């Protein structure tokens, strides 16, 4: 009896699918994206005692481009040849100590790195804004094992990678 009751359940389950799809969420006419160099506006914060880091915009831009290339759904092209253009700005960058050594006053044992960006996705031909995010940020807490500057670089790479992953996921999966 139980076996006969389950047959319609299995048929309905099989026909309806599980909700997973390999279908792209991108519009059919979109095959490429351009990612011009992000702007670095952290120099404006330097007067307020915040950190300015040169070439920060290059690190973030490179990570975003690498993510799109690695995914493979969109070809990365120059803005004049692409269907979409993703423009970005690094709006904040900060490194602050979280914990000091109890045995050596002034020796930092842990730091927090904060990276914030804003992005705008536009149609390359019409310049119409498709998607906009004012603040995407990452905080990375890092134990300092050796040079604080090495840990800062490692944290920046990690934060930039995670921000790039979030941006590419939202663009490719249609969260706009």
Please give the Cα distance from 60 to 89 (Å, whole number).
9
pTM here is 0.79
Contacts of residue 10, defined as CB under 8 A and 6 or more positions apart, other chains included, come to none
Q: pLDDT confidence of 156, banded at 50, 70, 90?
A: very high
Contacts of residue 30, defined as CB under 8 A and 6 or more positions apart, other chains included, come to 74, 83, 84
Residue 114 lies in a domain: yes
* Total of domains in the chain: 1
What tens digit of pLDDT does each residue of 26-45 get? 888 899 999 999 999 887 65
Residue 2 lies in a domain: no
Domain around 54: 29-172
State the pairing for strand pair 75-76/32-34: parallel
The confidence score (pLDDT) of residue 129 equals 96
Query: What CATH number is given to the structural domain containing 133?
Result: 3.30.160.150
The backbone region for 72, taken as left when phi is positive above 0, alpha when psi lies in -120 to 50, beta otherwise, is: left
What tens digit of pLDDT does each residue of 121-134 get? 999 999 999 999 99
Residue 23 lies in a domain: no
């Amino acid at each position: 009896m139980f076996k006969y009751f389950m047959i319609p359940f299995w048929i309905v389950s099989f026909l309806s699918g599980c909700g997973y799809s390999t279908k792209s969420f991108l519009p059919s006419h979109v095959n490429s994206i351009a990612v011009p160099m992000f702007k670095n506006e952290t120099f404006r914060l330097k007067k307020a005692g915040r950190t300015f880091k040169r070439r920060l915009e290059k690190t973030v831009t490179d990570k975003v481009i690498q993510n799109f290339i690695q995914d493979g759904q969109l070809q990365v092209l120059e803005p004049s040849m692409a269907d979409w253009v993703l423009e970005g700005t690094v709006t904040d960058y900060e490194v602050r100590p979280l914990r000091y050594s109890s045995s050596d006053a002034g020796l930092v044992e842990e730091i927090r790195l904060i990276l914030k960006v804003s992005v705008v996705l536009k149609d390359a031909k019409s310049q119409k804004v498709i998607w906009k995010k004012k603040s995407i940020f990452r905080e990375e807490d890092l134990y300092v094992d050796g040079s604080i500057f090495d840990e800062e670089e490692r944290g920046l790479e990690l934060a930039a990678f995670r921000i790039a992953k979030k941006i590419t996921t939202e663009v490719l999966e249609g969260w706009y």
